[in-house]
Structure 1
Amino acid sequence: MKTRLISPFLTRSRSIKEPISPFCSTPNNNPIKPTSKTQSFEHPKPLNLKTEKPISQDPILTQTHLTKLILSHKNDPNSALQHFKWATRKGVVPENTIGESFLVLVHVLMCSDKHYGAAKKLISKCVLEGLDPGPSEFVSQVVDVAERFQFDQISNSRVVNYLLCSFVRSCRFEDAVVCFRKMVEHNIVPCVSYVHVLLNALVRNNMITEARVLFSEIVRLQISYDCATVRVMIRGCLKEGNVEDAIQYFWDAKKNGVELDAITYSTAIYAVCKKPDAILACALLNEMKEKGWVPSEGTYTNVIGACVKQRCMVDALRLKDEMVSNGVRMNLVVATSLMKGYCVKGDLDSALNLFEKIVDDGLCPNKITYSVLIEGCCNNGDVKKGFELYMRMKNEGIKPNVYNVNSLIIAFFEGGLIDEAKKLFDEAVETGVANVFTYNNLISWLCKEDKVDEACGVLDKMSKDGISPTIVSYNNMILGHCRSGNMDGALDLFNTLQERGFKANVITYSILIDGYFRKGKSNEALAMFDRMVDLGFLPSDYTFNIVINGLCKVGQTSEASLMLKKVVERGFNPTCMTYNSIIDGFVKEGDINSALAVYTDMHEAGVTPNVVTYTSLIHGFCKCKNMDLALKMRNEMRTKGLELDVVSYGALINGFCKVRDIRRAREIFNELYEVGLYPNTAIYNSMISGFRDLDNIEEAVDFHKKMVNEGILCDLPTYTTLIDGLLKAGKIVSASDLYTEMLAKNIVPDDIMYTVLVNGLCNKGQLENARKILEEMDKKSMVPNVVIYNSLIGGYFREGKLQEAFKLHDEMLDRGLVPDDRTYDILVTGKIKGVDSMREGSV
């Protein structure tokens, strides 16, 4: 910093707010000692105080006399010091006190090259033993003595500055701050090196706020500071985790003209990398190189690490090559960072190749290196390689941590390697590595796989092994019961956890609420929600979404919409998923107008619709056969840059098939391929159903063949639709072949399939075969529905077999079925209307 030298120091007409410089501003920031030009001392031979009397024969000696005596030896500091010591022994100067004579002596000694150290020792002893009157009073006394006895500003400044240093070294940091401020008040400029000592001590002792306040005063008062001080302030901010302010100290120092060295740049780069900001770190690194400095190994390591964290692998690799070209060998930290970067990018091969290279080059991988690679293997789907590294790690004497074990167990489960996961779990338990997360991971997976009983066994084992379950453990178990539909089990466990001293949290209640909704028990779900609120739990956004979605799923969409309005007033911020649940609910209830109203509310709330939103609305318009509005929604999606997915295309295709516009349905079907998508089973079923409804069974069969050729699985609706069409077309053999093919694939017929078979066979006079279907249902303990009996009764009436028809009627009653109007229409009037082929229900 550019400042203006001032003289004298203690001139009262001058303000401290002007730019000021320390008395000791030298290139190395060391205090200036007196020179022969400013002070010339002739030191007479010191008195022998044992044989000679140092003072007059006056028997009464006071501190005033002692002060005068010391002043008379101003040019003989050694004699002045000896006189003071003699007077102290004689009791003239009371021990453990600071008097005028002491302060005069200190000033005298400070003026001498040879006695500078003695003055410092006296001040240090005084402060260390707590003999001073306090920092504020001490500084005032020193200044007063300097003025009254006309000591020059240099000695006075030295005394006060070393007093500041002594407070710091005595760990009296608060007193040091008071001393600093009193110095400024008296226009005594703190020495740059002592400013650094004070700030460094505050930072080291975690008095970082005090350090920052003090530094702000230094900057405001334009007191000089150096790059070492800047580094102290950067370190202080980093200690607090305040990266932004740390970097700002560097920029402010640079702006204020402080001469910054390579170490300060490296410190600033370290701070930037903590952020991390790879671009800025590289820019500062380039500045260092432009100034002719070669960045250290540590600096390169930090910048490469920042580049990896921000996925700038090109820059990271370039800097690694640059570091090596500068003669700095790639270290393990850099290598591990690069491996991490490769793994995050999904380039596992490059990470593994680099690992083998550093081993060949003589570097020894450590626990962190192995952990990075094991995690990378697990995340990139190569758990076997991860386990191989785990074994290699153990063979090299490096003990794996629980994080390695947990990563592998999760990856084994996700990869379907259940035995390997359980074996590793058992090993972790046996070796004492397993922690609560290890057990929770196993419990969570077992519950997801509906193996709740086995999960209960793990929970019991957990306690026996000395691992205390957490609320997460119980939440996983409750979730498992809810997913399997065992709400009684979930509720029992909920009560158990509270009996064992655990407190249920919002997640616990949310799981139970969701479980009740999944069972269709909305009253119980809402009661659990009310119980949670009554106990003082604040429902989370996750909870509100569960309740709103649950109400929609059980057909109470209006209640869900009303609840949304209430919770929004309480500060709940609905997401796109929230609105989607309500829109989908209204669509399924056939209330497209209410769905559109929610869509409007969504826009007004500033929530952007997504593909799911538009797909639900397209479904709604297709359901009410309003294909123009469905296409309008499709166009709006495209305008907003949203790409239709397979589900959206499926909704449009199904809609056009329902309105018998098979031409448009085929066009959209072909468009699927053009945009790089492929039809799924549901889309093929829609097309097959569309052709079946138009009595074009040949095209339906062709689509079935195309479906098989593309490797798309045919499901029960596929076979039901085709068999219905074939029977209607009189192709009984083809229908029978398809049915046989279906059974061979272990696809189990349902009520709709049996209805189609009986109805089709009866319509074609195949009553015996139809009757066999009924017998097949009996063997499977399936009760035929009224429509099946109506088809058979009608068939027998057509054949004139009235007795068989009435027998079937009695059989219906015996099975507890209630004949409908059509049954009695056949039996009473003998009129047989065409039987619907169940087209609506077959798909």
Structure 2
Amino acid sequence: MRTRLAPSSTAPWRISSIRTQRCLCSAPISHAQEASALNPNSTAEQPELSRNPMPDSLVFPEKSSAEIGEPRCEFTAPVSRKWGLGQTEMIATLLSRRNEPDSALRYFRWAEKQPGFASIVDPFCIMLWILIGSQGHHRIARYMLNHYVTSGSDPSARILVDRLVNCSRRFQFELDSRVFNYLLNSYARSGRLIDAIDCFNRLIESDIDPLIPNVNFLLSALARENMIPEVLGLAGILDSRGSECNAFTIHIIMTAYLKDGKVDEAEQYFKKAKASGLELDAAAYTTAIQAACRKPNSVMACELLNEMRKMGWIPSEGTITSVIGACVKQQNMESAIKLKDEMISSGTPMNLVVATSLMKGFYLNGDLDSALNLFDKIVHGGLVPNKITYSVIIEGCCRAGKMEKASEFYTQMKLAGIHPSVYDVNSVIRGLLRAHLWEEASKQFDEAVESGIANAFTYNDMIYRLCKEGKVDEASNVWHKMVNQGVVPSIVSYNNLILGHCRKGSMDLASSLLSEMQESGLKANVVTHSILIDGYFKKGEIERALGMYDQMIGRGISPSDYTYTTIINGLCKLGHSSEARDMMKTFVEKGFVPTCMSYNCIIDGFLKEGTVNSALGVYRDMCECGISPNVFTYTILIDGLCKSNNIVLALKMLNEMRKKGLDLDIVAYGTLINAFCKRRDMGNARKVFNELLEVGLSPNSAVYNNMINGFKNLGNMEEALALYKRMVNEGIPFGLETYTTLIDGLLKEGKIVFASELYTEMLAKGIMPDDIMHTALAHGLCNNGQLENARKVLEEMDKRSIAANVLVYNALIAGYFNEGNLQEAFRLHDEMLDRGLTPDDKTYDILVSRKFKRNGYRQGASSI
């Protein structure tokens, strides 16, 4: 296709911009020179254009004449022109043969072989225009361009384009875009991609649109060389000009966006092309699916997959595999399984990548059994699990706490000749630590250290878990081992050990670690400071906690919401709820957005301090700020109001909670039941208990213990024992507290045999009595006249190294006084003093009042 170029407004060409020294006929030809050039017989003196040494001339292969069917011809140069042909003469001769392309080509080939011939640009450009003007000589023009570009003797691409345009205009050749497309293609094919880009840009600047096949070839060549920014740069130019592209262009540019990590741009480019009505192909759709999978957007990926099928295209196995992977990442297991089934039904067997993805999806959804079944299925089907497959199934078992199965796969993996990665080792160690299998975890850890595979994450996992369990000394040993092995502690390592020391209350050690960390070049982050602030609050050191906060601000570290919440909670726990409320207002001014939990901390603090009105004031502030109270908020309020004997207001809060559509949880129900039980209002306690059952909640041991204790305090052991039997039938775990309440109640009712049976049952379960149980036994037995058995209780306490208390001695002393054994009563009093126990008012009340009572009785009896 030929297009006429409008007159150029480009600035005059500058010789200085040429990369190689050669004459480009940049200056216009004078009238005399032009006349001489156009008349070969003219005797006018030819101007000398250049005396610079010329580069090697363009030389065609020896067979080129035969190949293009050129007749041989000889031209004779004037003997007097020793310096060689002049550019003006060449131009004039070529122009005189512009309608005879074969003759012009023979002359050009003869001229290039002459001594001193230079590969000057303008004659070459004119030769190209002559050839392109003849339909039968296009192939020769392409060959000349290819040879010219690969020889490396040409000027810059921009200058060559400009000279072609200039020659077309000056010598009235019709501008044919094929020359420029051949040139662009030659640069791309020869691997001169920077020159190809320059050529493309200059063509665009000259308002010449390259043909899209040539553009695609250039884009592909750039993509192969991973010149992604250049691909996207050309794409931007095409888009801004509204150039017509085809499906292959879309595919190349989308692929470039994906390589550059610009998934959204790739997706939008596809949508725009689709909306424009461009006929896309399977490759473009496949690339769009890959973009959707990268996000991941499994819904879009599935939709595009269905569109491909409707158009009759069969998606590749790799494409379907990618979509299944995207579905798994978004936990869209239903679609993933459906695609897998379709894949198999179409005759494509499930591959290892799909199977591995599905296994991961299953265990992430909490369905480890399906993952294990699929593993067995692929093994029996002939697939050989690889390193990734084993890693996935091991991680799944570790997360589910199935450490025996995880160890089995770990061993199987090693037997298959696959060396576990540090990721696998860390998964197993984390799983063992979560399962509290310390010995096995330590063994795996030591093996990892000895083999040199352990990394910072391995050590961090051990340090964190040990610190969490309060085993700070063991964590410190792991720390020293890490340093000795040459593994540099990270900020996470320091934070974990600092957390351990803070939980143990060793704030000086935690502070020294902070200094050590900073000396090593690591900067403490917001997590570090928040841990220390929390540690100081738990230690009760408010000033040091707030001082650490000020240090953090001074170091330019922005507090997190966790930091603010830690300060608010710490102040409230230490009885400074008013200060916490004031600080929260300051934090809000700095950008902190209080949560429901923040308000809950302050409400709970005020209630524990006994300032109910302040707590209700914070509750109202919370509602006015648009923060909806949650179940925990109401539970705190109901509990606090009940404890302050504001049961009416507590019930009002309960009704308000229900009006807002909030359902009570087991904690809220338990709080109400406990409040009614303490008030000995077992009627309302029973109503709340029944409501709890009606809404489908299961009472826990705390609720049952409150109810049992409430009925015991009323002397209604029948109801208490009925609840106990219900606990047993429903499998609700119970322990010493339940047994203590029941045995105490039974002894008070004189049911010694039943109490003894429960006590025997308790011991059979391995539940050992504490001082409270022993006290209840001593009182109960003494009140029932079982002094010898009561005395044995004191002996059992000595055997179990449980210190006897004043209450036990008071019961025994009162018992012996009632029996009239004053000597034993006073002996027990002396024994109590020998043990270092201080008698209380009850003790002296028994000793004094009952002694006088006993003496008065005896005096009265003797007088009678």
Answer whether TM exceeds 0.5 for this pair: yes
1:492-533 Cα distance to aligned partner (Å, 9 max, x none):
444444455544333233223323333333333333333333
Counterpart CA distance in 2 for 1:479 and 1:761 is 49
Matches within 5 A, 1:278-297: 278-297=298-317
Residue in structure 1 matched with residue 569 of structure 2 by the alignment: 549
Which AA in structure 2 matches 1:141?
R
Give the alignment's TM-score, normalised by structure 2: 0.80
Contact 1:276-1:309 within 8 A present in 2 as well: yes
Matches within 5 A, 1:125-204: 125=150, 128=152, 131-132=154-155, 135=158, 137-154=159-176, 157-166=177-186, 168=188, 176-177=196-197, 179-201=199-221, 203=223
Q: 1:823 to 1:530 in 2, by over 3 A?
A: farther
Contact 2:258-2:291 within 8 A present in 1 as well: yes
Counterpart CA distance in 2 for 1:831 and 1:165 is 123
Shift of 1:683: 1.0
Residue in structure 2 matched with residue 749 of structure 1 by the alignment: 770
1:72 paired to 2:96: yes
Counterpart CA distance in 2 for 1:655 and 1:430 is 59
Counterpart CA distance in 2 for 1:753 and 1:370 is 53
Give the alignment's TM-score, normalised by structure 1: 0.82
Counterpart CA distance in 1 for 2:614 and 2:317 is 66
Contact 1:9-1:187 within 8 A present in 2 as well: no
Shift of 1:174: 6.2
1:447 paired to 2:484: no
Higher RCO (CA 8 Å, separation ≥ 6 residues):
1
Shift of 1:229: 0.9
Matches within 5 A, 1:23-422: 45-48=71-74, 52-53=75-76, 61-77=85-101, 79-84=103-108, 86-88=110-112, 90=114, 94=118, 98-111=120-133, 112-125=137-150, 128=152, 131-132=154-155, 135=158, 137-154=159-176, 157-166=177-186, 168=188, 176-177=196-197, 179-201=199-221, 203=223, 208=228, 211-422=231-442
1:191-244 Cα distance to aligned partner (Å, 9 max, x none):
102222344455556665554454344234332211111011111221232222
Shift of 1:53: 0.8
Contact 1:106-1:122 within 8 A present in 2 as well: no
Contact 1:63-1:92 within 8 A present in 2 as well: no
Contact 1:123-1:162 within 8 A present in 2 as well: no
Matches within 5 A, 1:692-771: 692-719=712-739, 721-722=741-742, 725=745, 745-750=766-771
Q: What secondary structure is seen at the aligned counterpart in 1 of 2:604?
A: helix
Q: What secondary structure is seen at the aligned counterpart in 1 of 2:138?
A: coil
Residue in structure 1 matched with residue 596 of structure 2 by the alignment: 576
Counterpart CA distance in 2 for 1:749 and 1:825 is 27
Which AA in structure 2 matches 1:510?
S
Residue in structure 2 matched with residue 31 of structure 1 by the alignment: none
Q: 1:332 to 1:775 in 2, by over 3 A?
A: closer
Which AA in structure 2 matches 1:9?
R
Q: Which structure has the larger Rg?
A: 2
1:152-187 Cα distance to aligned partner (Å, 9 max, x none):
332xx1232334445556776666555434423433
Matches within 5 A, 1:392-541: 392-541=412-561
Shift of 1:571: 1.1
Contact 2:425-2:448 within 8 A present in 1 as well: yes
Counterpart pick for 1:585 among 580, 600, 605: 605
Q: Which moved more, 1:363-372 or 1:504-513?
A: 504-513
Counterpart pick for 1:618 among 627, 638, 642: 638
Counterpart CA distance in 1 for 2:625 and 2:128 is 76
Q: 1:829 to 1:312 in 2, by over 3 A?
A: closer
Q: What secondary structure is seen at the aligned counterpart in 1 of 2:706?
A: helix
Q: 1:706 to 1:329 in 2, by over 3 A?
A: closer
Counterpart CA distance in 2 for 1:521 and 1:513 is 9
Which AA in structure 1 matches 2:461?
N
Q: What secondary structure is seen at the aligned counterpart in 2 of 1:399?
A: coil
Shift of 1:650: 0.4
Shift of 1:62: 3.0
Which AA in structure 2 matches 1:621?
L
Q: 1:100 to 1:502 in 2, by over 3 A?
A: closer
Residue in structure 2 matched with residue 26 of structure 1 by the alignment: none
Superposition CA RMSD, Å: 4.1
Contact 1:70-1:104 within 8 A present in 2 as well: yes
Q: Percent identity?
A: 53
Shift of 1:556: 2.1
1:9 paired to 2:29: no
Shift of 1:470: 2.2
1:326-375 Cα distance to aligned partner (Å, 9 max, x none):
33333222222222233333333333333333333333222112222222
Which AA in structure 2 matches 1:690?
G
1:417-448 Cα distance to aligned partner (Å, 9 max, x none):
33332332233233332222122222222223
Counterpart CA distance in 2 for 1:179 and 1:601 is 70
Counterpart CA distance in 2 for 1:804 and 1:395 is 75
Counterpart CA distance in 1 for 2:795 and 2:403 is 52
Q: Which moved more, 1:523-532 or 1:543-552?
A: 523-532
Which AA in structure 1 matches 2:71?
K
1:533-552 Cα distance to aligned partner (Å, 9 max, x none):
33333222222222222222
Q: 1:215 to 1:640 in 2, by over 3 A?
A: farther
Q: 1:569 to 1:167 in 2, by over 3 A?
A: farther
Contact 2:165-2:175 within 8 A present in 1 as well: no
Counterpart CA distance in 2 for 1:632 and 1:243 is 55
Counterpart CA distance in 2 for 1:581 and 1:105 is 89
Shift of 1:302: 1.9
Residue in structure 2 matched with residue 837 of structure 1 by the alignment: none
Q: Which moved more, 1:811-820 or 1:677-686?
A: 811-820
Contact 1:797-1:805 within 8 A present in 2 as well: no
Counterpart CA distance in 2 for 1:747 and 1:563 is 47
